[in-house]
């Protein structure tokens, strides 16, 4: 199976690649359109801000390519947010392969933004991507923006209200948390993605 990590400048690429290696998959890091088009699985990692993330994809000429992919695609952290229509972060127009928008968490007593640390996942509907997740599944998050729960939401987490933690629409999938830092739960979800 050919798995590629889109080299869009995300700082978590090395740790995602290592997590895949632990599952027996050596994912190539690439920004080459042909390699991405021909891959069996495509992962769009990302850490940072929506504006620079989309600017990098445009600079590489990958926006329309990613939109046209038919194989399973996984966005991780910022990569998940970029799959949606827009982000309030810098009023950024994103890939628009999943309806919805990311907005900044509202600061409130006891809620420090960014949301950073372990949070429980709640499965909202059955899907092969979340197969095997029990009621005690925890994942590691680091983010200031989130997508509200919507028709594409497979699992939520709570931080002053429910938000999308795992999403899927057609062949596009996303995880707001860092599966590579989420121990057994993260490994299970990555394995589920590889088996889609």
The DSSP secondary structure of 52-102, one letter per residue, reads HHHHHHHHTT-HHHHHH--S-EEEETHHHHHTEEEETGGGEE---SEEEEE
Q: Up-side HSE of residue 160: CA atoms within 13 Å toward CB?
A: 17
Q: Are strands 98-104 and 84-87 parallel, antiparallel or unpaired?
A: parallel
- Say what percent of the chain tops pLDDT 70: 98
pLDDT band at 8 (very low <50, low <70, confident <90, very high): confident
Q: Could you read off the pLDDT of 115-172 as tens digits, one per residue? A: 999 999 999 999 999 999 988 899 999 999 999 999 999 999 999 999 999 999 999 9
Catalytic annotation present for 77: yes
DSSP-derived secondary structure letter, 40: S
Is cis: bond before 114, omega within 30 of 0? Answer: yes
**Is the pTM higher than 0.85?**
yes
For residue 94, indicate whether it is catalytic: no
Q: Is the pLDDT of residue 107 over 90?
A: no
> Structural domains in the chain?
3-194 (3.40.50.880)
What is the model's pLDDT at position 12?
Answer: 67
Catalytic hit among 115, 143, 173, 178: 178
pLDDT tens digits for range 87-104: 999 999 999 999 999 999
Burial label, 154 (beta-carbon count in 10 A; 0-12, 13-18, 19+): buried
Computed over every residue of the chain, the mean pLDDT equals: 95
Of the candidates 77, 94, 143, 173, the residue annotated as catalytic is 77
Q: How confident is residue 13, by pLDDT bands cut at 50, 70 and 90?
A: confident
Based on the residue annotation, tell me whether 143 is a catalytic residue of this protein.
no
Question: 63, 106 in Cβ contact below 8 A?
Answer: no
Q: Which two three-digit tokens encode residue 6?
A: 């889109």
């Amino acid at each position: 199976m050919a798995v590629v990590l889109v080299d869009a400048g995300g700082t978590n690429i090395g740790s995602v690649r290592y997590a895949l290696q632990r599952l027996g998959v050596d994912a190539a890091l690439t920004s080459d359109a042909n390699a991405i088009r021909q891959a069996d699985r495509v992962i769009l990692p990302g850490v940072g801000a929506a504006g620079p993330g989309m600017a990098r994809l445009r600079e590489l000429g990958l926006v329309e390519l990613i939109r046209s992919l038919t194989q399973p695609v996984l966005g991780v952290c910022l990569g998940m947010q970029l799959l949606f229509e827009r982000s309030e972060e810098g009023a950024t127009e994103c890939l628009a392969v999943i309806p919805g928008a990311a907005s900044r968490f509202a600061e409130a007593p006891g809620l420090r933004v960014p949301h950073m640390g372990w949070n429980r996942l709640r499965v909202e509907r059955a899907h092969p991507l979340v197969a095997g997740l029990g009621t005690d599944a925890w994942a590691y998050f680091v983010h200031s923006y989130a997508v509200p729960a919507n028709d594409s939401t497979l699992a939520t987490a709570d931080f002053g209200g429910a938000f999308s933690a795992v999403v899927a629409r057609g062949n596009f999938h996303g995880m707001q948390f860092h599966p590579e830092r989420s121990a057994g739960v993260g490994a299970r979800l990555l394995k589920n993605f590889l088996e889609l």
